[in-house]
Amino acid sequence: MDRDGTGEAAEAGAKVPGPRRIVAAAVVTGVEGVIVAAFGLFSLVLLVTGSPDDMVQAATLAVTVLALSVLPLAAARGLWRRRRWSRGPSMIVQLLALPVAWQMAQNGGGLIAAAAALALAAVAVLACLVNPKATEALGIDAR
């Protein structure tokens, strides 16, 4: 990637998306975005096929969750293309995932395994994104 962050170098070398850390962060962030989008679509299907107690609340939930899926999906695409702007949104998604994982773990049962997976994924992506090789590949200077 060129230093000005335009990503033209990344587009020229589309076969090799970059360091493995960035690729891993992009894939995990993208999977998180797809899961959030799937939950939003599932909520929308339940809204249409079911009879919710509060139609407005159900519609708001579905639309909000679908809108929230845009951030990790955009960040994953940006990481894949080695855009320097994508690091911040991906890190925000991971930092928001940690309290969600904590809350899931507090509910117990089968959610404990999902909470552990979410927390491990968030920590792994954060570790990948703060790595000096990843920041260098994204064109972020160490200060």
pTM, two decimals, is 0.81
pLDDT at position 34, please? 97
**For tokens 């972020």, what's the residue?**
140
Model confidence at 92: pLDDT above 90: yes
d(CA 78, CA 84): 8
Q: Sign of dihedral through CA atoms 109, 54, 43, 95? A: negative
Show the CA angle centred on residue 53, arms to residues 51 and 59, nearest 5°. 75
Region of 5 on the Ramachandran plot (φ > 0 left; ψ -120 to 50 alpha; else beta): left
